[in-house]
Chain A
């Protein structure tokens, strides 16, 4: 499955200098989704996403092109989301599972399983949670996640392995064997 990160890796990112509005329009879903999947709170995700784009506006001239802007946005959104949780002690609450989720054109797969997986990812500690979001939402490779979160690749791989093992065990226990 070709995720949004794959297109950038294939060099399909804009070569000409995009305007701020272009970057905002092209990346708002990505920024909002990272924040939403991490925080599991729509209002908090909107707040973080808005702050990220305000910061982008202030440093827009320093960004070289669309691909650099996307990397910058992922990095800043990840850091801002983690900071948001640490400052506000916001827990990825299972209760929020009942809250209405933002629209997605066509959610693939089993909606119940998707909700269960999102809840389990929401229960992970901050760093592995962000690693999982960047891996499976953004389709980034461990090396790209390592660059985005400024951590060693082996740490990223370790987070991924441990998180997958935990998910496999919990999902297997509650919803049947998925391999």
Chain B
């Protein structure tokens, strides 16, 4: 082996990890375990948020549908009234026409 390669092996010899490293990793794992344990609560929070969103969207949609239905019912009533008025006007015109004919005959 060349001297340079031997020197590189010396220069890059493994260093010792700090004495407290193992304890620190185990402490992190315990904290990480705590995070894992809290995850179901987080899941419930997401489920609640989703339920609220669904309810709000459902409420808005229902309100919109109700308004559409009310407007359609109003339009139908208006159309019926216009038809009734038209029939009445035609009938009145006929009565007026008959009265005029009667007066002319007399």
Q: Which of B2, B11, B16, B24 contacts A114 (CB 8 A)?
A: B11
Flag whether A13 is at the interface (Cβ < 8 A): no
Please indicate which of the listed interface residues B3, B9, B28 has the most CB atoms of chain A within 10 Å of its own CB. Answer: B9
Q: Could you tell me the distance between the alpha carbons of A31 and B21 in the complex, rounded to whole angstroms? A: 11
Flag whether B5 is at the interface (Cβ < 8 A): yes
Flag whether A105 is at the interface (Cβ < 8 A): yes
Q: Which chain A positions have C-beta within 8 A of B8? A: 117, 121, 132, 135-136, 167
Verify B14–A30 contact, CB threshold 8 A.
yes
- Using a Cβ–Cβ cut-off of 8 Å, how many residues does chain A contribute to the interface with B? 48
Verify B25–A24 contact, CB threshold 8 A.
yes
Which B residues fall within an 8 A CB radius of A?
Answer: 1-18, 21-22, 24-26, 28-29, 32
Additional pairs, 16, CB under 8 Å, beyond known A46-B18, A109-B10: A4-B14, A24-B22, A24-B26, A28-B22, A29-B15, A50-B21, A53-B28, A58-B32, A108-B10, A114-B11, A115-B11, A117-B7, A133-B12, A136-B8, A136-B11, A137-B12
Which A residues fall within an 8 A CB radius of B?
Answer: 1, 3-4, 21, 24-25, 28-33, 36-37, 46, 49-50, 53-54, 57-58, 101-105, 107-110, 113-115, 117-118, 121, 132-133, 135-137, 139, 164, 167-168, 171, 178-179
